[in-house]
């Protein structure tokens, strides 16, 4: 179809190509201004084995962080948040943490998770800690730690080179999750 010497088919093809270039440019811009600085900043966090960006939009980020065995999950988490905040800016950011849990550690956590939720609901954290210690001591874990912070309760269980991390929100607006390593393998991987 022609209109005063203009071929609409050619105009349509050029418009599609320009649109495609704009989309590609936006993708590359996002990688350069957000993804690469994020990966680079996580290289300075020794507890991090791997980082994958699951979602990166103008409004939100979702980041999968594969953690090594750590001594202090609460301190590690604070370090991760401080690493992400400058890059995320005003976007909502959700951290998905992975660990190397075993069935034994999962069962141990299951045995105490009601106690943790009760402690959060009632604010009786001293009683919660005592009950958690009583419940876990017969299991012979190499190490266990429950730490109460303002926004989260951090749980670490360690045994035989395996480790389970849980970051339990004390508030409904928490933006963290812990996913088993086998689940994380299927996330954008």
Predicted pLDDT of residue 57: 81
pLDDT surpassing 70 at residue 183: no
6/184 Cα distance (integer angstroms): 53
DSSP 57: -
Predicted pLDDT of residue 31: 43
pLDDT surpassing 70 at residue 181: no
Instruction: Please report, for the chain, the start and end positions of each structural domain, with discontinuous segments joined by +.
Output: 1-44, 47-185
Rounded to the nearest 10 degrees, how much is the dihedral formed by the CA atoms of 109, 112, 113, 116?
-130
Predicted pLDDT of residue 3: 58
Q: Tell me the whole-structure pTM to 2 decimals.
A: 0.72
Q: What are the tens digits of pLDDT across the range 72-121? A: 999 999 999 888 888 878 888 888 999 999 999 999 999 999 999 999 99
Q: What are the tens digits of pLDDT across the range 114-172? A: 999 999 999 999 999 999 999 999 999 999 999 999 999 999 999 999 999 999 998 76
Between CA 185 and CA 39, with CA 147 as vertex, the angle to 5 degrees is 40
Predicted pLDDT of residue 14: 65
- Residue 5: band (very low, low, confident or very high) from pLDDT cuts 50, 70, 90: low
- Burial bucket for residue 106 (CB in 10 Å: 0-12, 13-18, 19+): middle
């Amino acid at each position: 179809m022609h209109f005063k010497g203009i071929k609409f088919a050619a105009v349509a093809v050029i418009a599609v190509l320009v649109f495609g270039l704009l989309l590609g440019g936006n993708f590359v811009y996002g990688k350069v201004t957000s993804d690469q600085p994020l990966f680079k900043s996580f290289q300075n966090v020794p507890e991090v084995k791997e980082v994958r960006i699951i979602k990166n939009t103008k409004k939100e980020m979702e980041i999968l962080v594969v953690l090594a065995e750590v001594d202090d999950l609460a301190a590690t988490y604070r370090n991760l948040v401080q690493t992400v905040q400058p890059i995320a800016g005003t976007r909502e950011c959700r951290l998905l943490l992975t660990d190397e849990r075993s069935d034994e550690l999962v069962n141990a956590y299951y045995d105490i998770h009601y106690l943790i939720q009760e402690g959060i609901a009632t604010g009786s954290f001293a009683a919660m800690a005592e009950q958690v210690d009583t419940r876990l001591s017969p299991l012979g874990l190499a190490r266990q730690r429950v730490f109460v912070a303002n926004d989260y309760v951090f749980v670490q269980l360690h045994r035989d080179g395996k480790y389970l991390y849980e970051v339990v929100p004390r508030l409904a607006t928490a933006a963290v999750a812990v996913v088993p390593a086998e689940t994380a393998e299927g996330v954008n991987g």
